[in-house]
Each structure stands twice: as structure tokens, then as C-alpha cells.
Amino acid sequence: MVNSFFPPWRGGAETYAYNLAKQLALRGHEIEVLCASPPDKPGRYIVDKINLTRLPVTAWLYGTPIAARLLWMLLRSKMDLIHAGFPSPYNACSASVASALKGTPSVLTWHNDLPPLTTTARLLVNTHDRLILPIYIRGFKRIISTSRKYAGSSRILKKHDRKVRIVPNGVDCEKFRPDLTPNPIRERLGGTKIVLFVGALSKWHSYKGLDVLINAFALASTFRQDMILLVVGDGTLKPAYQRLASQLNVSGKVVFVGDVSDEDLPSYYAASDLLVLPSKDRSEGFGLTILEANACGRPAIGSNVGGVPDVIRHEYNGLLVPPNSPEALSAAIIRLIENDSLRSGMGRNGRRLAEEHDWSRVAEATERVYHEALE
């Protein structure tokens, strides 16, 4: 398996790589994961029966690590199948080249299209998608998309629909569950209602829409004074988000707790009343935090973009709102905060949905895709 990073680096693709590799190892497969070294040192490790090789980073390109040794490591390794993750063109291209040179079948998980976050990035994305991607994507025997809606809306995946298989993301239903003890921050905040956001605060994750949420929260706070917005995550944009909260006079009600460990994260879901994922565009390929909140019996509000509508069933385990609309998001927050029975009912539904997405089921479905590629 090839991925940009691996835990303790925090991210949806990293959560996917770790949990899938762990479950496949439990099913008796020998798993080797190649990734960039941060936040740990380069070297070989064993994590939950996973053979992990952290490679030194040679360069960075738009937040993506380039490990020059990756292709050489793939060529020298003995394997029956290569599984790479996108949106890292470097990793995907390296896996495709190694697959062709070794005659080893390969599978690609397409988490999302490349996000054109800046004008320069848009030019690079267009160049990649039109000229480079068609050369190496055809080397993959199967392409996994975590969302049927996303696969149907991606102009790239639609060109390769015969190869595409839908395997949704998963959640650890033992780690995330409704009977967890809430984080002590709940007691410190008193009897306030807690709205939770979980995500990286970097430029490359600005599509997560925390600025939209802060604006929506400021609107909602004019109607309800007993709410706190709890932000879990860190990154270079944190000062900008803090300034925005200050400008909107809600800095005392927006609590930035920074990065938290994987062990502590479930307790923050348990401390919250609901989760909000206010993604701005279709860069959001799935939304793992929605499943994590649901597994803890908490409903979620998400933008009706990308793969989010495949995770949130409107009025069942949460609410869908138009993207980039603080007004609509504010109304949805107020609706759930003021209706305890609606919120708890959606939370119970969310738990049922999460149990259908346990990582053991994801591994079993992925294994079937592997067999297709091998055959």
C-alpha cells in the first residue's frame, strides 16, 4: 500500500490507509505500507502487524510529499498487488510505473479529484488531468471510489467507469461508540451546547469550510447564547480563523483545542451535541468525521457537495445544507440545538448507519476488489 502519510499524521486518507491495512492484516494478508516519514523519522516500523516503511521527503509540491526512493522501493519489494491512494499524483504514478515494469496488478483508491485551490494550482491540475493522468491511470486494474455520488460526478472517474468499484469508507465502532465518557472539556464549559468541527486548519484543507462555519455560528449565537463551537485540529490558517472569530465577536465562544491524539479524539465526539462539516466544494470526497460522530451517537450537519450526500441521509442521521451559505447552516444548527428529541433520534440512526460501515466490512469488500484485479 502506498499513501502520502500514515498515523499519527491526521487525515482522512491516513485513517483509511491505517484501518484498511490493519483489517487486511487481521484477515491473514501480509501488508507493507510505504509513506513519507513525517511526523516520525525515516525507517522501518511494525504497527499492528503492518510492515511500515517511512521514506525521507525529497521535496514538497503543494502540500504533497515527494519521496524519491518510492519507485525504487516498489521495484525491489516482493508483492502480489500494489494499492495506491489518490490525490497524490506522484504516488499513483509511481505505483502505476512499478505495476507495469513488474507485471504486478495494481488498484487505486480515488479519495477525491485534485482540488484547484489557487490559480497556479488550477493550471497544474488541468495540465495533470489532461496530459499526465491518462497515461498512468490506465495501468490500474481497478479504481475504488468511496462514494457512488462522487464517482458519478467526477469527469475523470466517469471515463473509467468500467474499472470503478464503490467501497465506502469505514469507522471503528469499538473505538467510537455512544457510551464513551465525554472529554473533561464538557464539564469546564458547563451546561452549554457544543457544536464540533474536526479537521486540519491548513491551506490545503481550506475547502473544509471552517470560515463558513464560524460565520454561521456567529449568526446562530444571536439566537442562542448557550453554544460553544469546539474546533479540533491545527494548521497554518488557525490565526486567520481566530481573527475571524474575533471580528465577529464570538472569540470567547469559539474554542480551538489544537490537534488531539487518536486516543483522545472519541471523547471530544462524546462531549459534543453535534458535528458540522461545512465543506465548500466537491473536494470533499467522503467525510470520515461524519461516520465517527454517528458512531458516537451524534448527528451531523454537512454540505450537499462531493461524497457527503452518500454519508448523510437528510433527516435520518443528520442534515444536508447548501455549501457556502452561513444562513442555511446557522438555521440547521439552531434546529438541532433546540430539538433534543430530533437530535438524539438522528444520533441513534447514525449509530445504526455507522455499524454498517465498520472497517472489517470495508476490508472484506476491498479484498473482493483485489481478487478482481488479480484475476
Whichever domain contains 103, its CATH number is 3.40.50.2000
Both 347 and 369 in one domain: the answer is no
* Cell numbers that stand for 125 in this block: 491540475
159 and 250 both lie in a single domain: no
Mapping DSSP onto H, E and C, the string for 303-368 reads ECCCCHHHCCCECCCEEEECCCCHHHHHHHHHHHHHCHHHHHHHHHHHHHHHHCCEHHHHHHHHHH
Q: Rounded mean pLDDT of 364-368?
A: 98
C-alpha span between 339 and 334 (Å, rounded) = 9
Check residue 300 and give its pLDDT.
98
- Is pTM beyond 0.95 here? no
Same domain, yes or no: 136 and 229: no
Q: Are residues 142 and 241 in the same domain?
A: no
pLDDT band at 195 (very low <50, low <70, confident <90, very high): very high
Same domain for 232 and 130? no
Q: Establish if 177 belongs to a structural domain.
A: no
pLDDT in tens, 109-168: 999 988 777 778 788 889 999 999 999 999 999 999 999 999 999 989 999 999 999 999
Both 53 and 162 in one domain: the answer is yes
> What are the Cα distances from residue 57, in Å, to 35, 76, 156, 289?
9, 19, 29, 28
281 domain residue, yes or no: yes
User: Whole domain around residue 103: which residue ranges?
Assistant: 12-170+358-374
pLDDT tens across 324-351, in order?
A: 999 999 999 999 999 999 999 999 999 9
What is the model's pLDDT at position 62?
77
pLDDT reported for residue 204: 83
Q: What local confidence, expressed as pLDDT, does residue 160 receive?
A: 94
Contact criterion met (CB below 8 Å) for 250 and 222: no
Task: Note whether 329 and 216 are within 8 A (CB).
Answer: yes
Which H or E run contains 267?
A: helix 265-271
How many distinct structural domains can be found in the chain?
2
pLDDT for 278:
97
Cell numbers found for residue 307: 461524497
- Can you give the pLDDT at residue 124? 87
Residue 4 included in any domain: no
- CB neighbourhood size of 189 (10 A): 17
pLDDT number for residue 191: 76
Res. 372 pLDDT band, cuts 50 70 90: very high
Q: Is residue 5 part of a domain?
A: no
> Percent of the chain having pLDDT more than 90?
89
Across residues 356-361, what is the average pLDDT? 95
Lowest-pLDDT choice from 47-61, 118-132, 244-258? 118-132
- Asked, for residue 208, whether it belongs to a domain, the answer is yes
Tell me the per-residue pLDDT of 29-51, one tens digit each, with 9 for 90 and over: 999 999 999 999 999 999 999 99
**Residue 178 included in any domain:** no
Cell of 223: 439566537
199 plus 315 within the same structural domain: yes
